[in-house]
């Protein structure tokens, strides 16, 4: 799905929508998917602030937040090893409710989605052969929205929803012997009804599975806002896939240009407060005003808005919607069975 269907440019500062282009319209992984598939909080403070490249700075921050000092062996470069954080949790070293509250007040879900969008952006480049990022989220989204691709869920009443496929076996995949060309052909012949627009409605998902506190954050799921994670800024273009929130789809706004904020990477030590950086400050403030950018229903025009949208969509993207037209010579890897 990331090859040929995601609208991401190979220019680092170009406008991006991070949508998949199907014959029936645009779709994407959203904050709603993050909340339900991974169970992460989606409303809250942006995940931003200082990045510190010295061990002394990390040590001081951990003492401040957790009351526990780091050892140099607990770090790799300017990063803290996940094993240290796991041990911290297991040994209950958090300093009471203060440490816990300082963690749960952030929108970890939007940070997670920002990194998936960044990974998709890189993976859509013609010279890219691999993808990283939160791929459990991407697979869960694909299997829920395109159920004919899904393995048989082993634990269908689990939450987070990603746990439905915990311990699944490769033999459960009904399409494991199909080649890449078969999938391209299937997407070329895609019909309305094969994609689940409203995937978490009560007729598809038992509401008793999902904890009530997850829905407390649902107000921001449709917000058209930047997603923030320190240097990483990506755009949540919900006006382009309104049908995923149960709304009528009309012609969307122009793609939002994130300018230099979209191309930032932490390749070198950077002691910088990203919340106040000139390239990032306005996007951080946009997230803080997220309640002003929640989708609402469109006024009903004289012509059906979906017809208008599809006319615009097919006129804008044309033959790019036919994956088989975009494929040159297949390399040997592309012709292997996906199993």
How many structural domains comprise the chain?
1
Q: What is the pLDDT of residue 339?
A: 35
Mean pLDDT, range 177-194, rounded to an integer: 85
1: in domain:
no
End-to-end CA distance of the chain: 16
Q: What pLDDT score does 330 carry?
A: 45
Question: Rounded to whole angstroms, how far apart are CA atoms 126 and 150?
Answer: 27
| Assigned domain for 70 exists | no
pLDDT at 191 over 70: yes
Task: Judge whether 209 lies within some domain.
Answer: yes
Q: Residue 16: inside a domain, yes or no?
A: no
| Distance of alpha carbon 275 from alpha carbon 46, whole angstroms | 9
pLDDT surpassing 60 at residue 279: yes
Tokens of 183: 């999938």
Does the structure show a pLDDT above 60 at 94? no
Average pLDDT over every residue of 21-32: 95
Q: Pick the residue with more confidence: 99 or 286?
A: 286
Task: Name the H helices within the chain.
Answer: 31-38, 55-66, 82-90, 96-104, 108-123, 135-145, 180-188, 212-215, 281-288, 305-317, 323-326
- CA–chain centroid gap for 266, Å, is 20
The model's pTM is 0.85
Classify residue 299 as exposed, middle or buried by CB count within 10 Å of its CB (0-12, 13-18, 19+): exposed
139: phi then psi, degrees, rounded to nearest 5: -65, -45
Domain that holds residue 133: 21-47+106-320
> What's the 3-state SS for 191-237?
CCCCCCCCCCCCCCCCHHHCCHHHHCCHHHCCCCEEEEECCEEEEEC
β-strand pairing of 75-76 with 79-80:
antiparallel
Residue count of the chain, please give it: 339
Query: What is the per-residue pLDDT for 327?
Result: 63
Q: Is residue 95 situated within a structural domain?
A: no
pLDDT in tens, 225-272: 999 999 999 999 999 999 999 999 999 988 888 888 887 877 665 678
DSSP character string of 98-121: HHHHHHHTB-HHHHHHHHHHHHHH
- As a whole number, mean pLDDT of residues 269-280 equals 85
Percent of the chain with pLDDT over 70: 83
Residue 323: its pLDDT value, please?
80
* 94 assigned to some structural domain: no
Give the chain's mean pLDDT: 83
Read off the pLDDT band of 300 (50, 70, 90): low
Choice between 81 and 103, residue whose per-residue pLDDT is larger? 81
Structure tokens at 34: 């993050």
- Who contacts 268 (Cβ-Cβ below 8 Å, separation ≥6)? none
Query: Is the pLDDT assigned to residue 206 strictly greater than 90?
Result: no
pLDDT at 99 over 70: no
Cβ–Cβ < 8 Å for 155, 166 = yes
- The pLDDT value recorded for residue 59 is 86
What pLDDT band is residue 198 in, cutting at 50, 70 and 90? very high
Task: Give the range among 165-174, 186-195, 221-230, 254-263 with minimum mean pLDDT.
Answer: 165-174
Higher pLDDT, 288 or 1: 288
279, part of any domain: yes
pLDDT tens readout for residues 136-149: 999 999 999 998 88
Residue 75 resides in a domain: no
Give me 156's structure tokens: 């269908």
Task: Tell whether the model's pLDDT for residue 117 goes beyond 80.
Answer: yes
Per-residue pLDDT at 275: 92
């Amino acid at each position: 799905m990331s090859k040929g269907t995601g609208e991401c440019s190979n220019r680092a500062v170009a406008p991006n929508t991070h949508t998949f282009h199907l014959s029936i319209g645009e779709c994407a992984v959203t904050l709603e998917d993050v909340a339900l598939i991974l169970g992460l909080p989606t409303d809250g403070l942006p995940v931003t602030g200082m990045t510190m490249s010295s061990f002394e700075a990390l040590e001081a921050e951990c003492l401040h937040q957790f009351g526990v000092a780091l050892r140099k062996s607990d770090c790799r470069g300017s990063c803290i090893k996940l094993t240290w954080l796991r041990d911290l949790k297991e040994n209950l070293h958090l300093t009471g409710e203060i440490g816990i509250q300082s963690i749960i007040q952030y929108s970890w879900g939007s940070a997670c989605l920002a990194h998936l969008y960044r990974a998709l952006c890189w993976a859509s480049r013609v010279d890219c052969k691999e993808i990283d990022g939160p791929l459990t989220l991407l697979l869960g989204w694909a299997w829920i929205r395109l159920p004919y691709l899904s393995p048989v869920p082993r634990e269908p009443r689990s939450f987070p929803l990603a746990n439905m496929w915990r311990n699944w076996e490769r033999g459960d995949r009904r399409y494991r012997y199909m080649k890449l060309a078969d999938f391209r052909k299937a997407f070329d012949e895609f019909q309305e009804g094969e994609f689940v627009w409203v995937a978490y409605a009560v007729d598809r998902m038992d509401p008793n599975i999902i904890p009530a506190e997850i829905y407390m954050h649902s107000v921001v799921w449709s917000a058209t806002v930047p997603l923030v994670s320190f240097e990483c800024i990506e755009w949540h273009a919900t006006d382009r896939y309104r049908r995923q929130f149960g709304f009528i789809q009309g012609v969307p706004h122009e793609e939002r240009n994130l300018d230099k904020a979209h191309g930032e990477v932490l390749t070198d030590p950077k002691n910088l407060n990203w919340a106040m950086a000139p390239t990032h400050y306005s996007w951080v403030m946009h997230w803080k005003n997220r309640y002003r950018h929640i989708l609402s229903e469109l006024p009903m025009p004289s012509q059906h808005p979906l017809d208008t949208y599809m006319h615009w969509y097919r006129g804008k993207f044309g033959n790019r919607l036919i994956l088989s037209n975009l494929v040159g010579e297949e390399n040997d890897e592309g012709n292997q069975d996906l199993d």
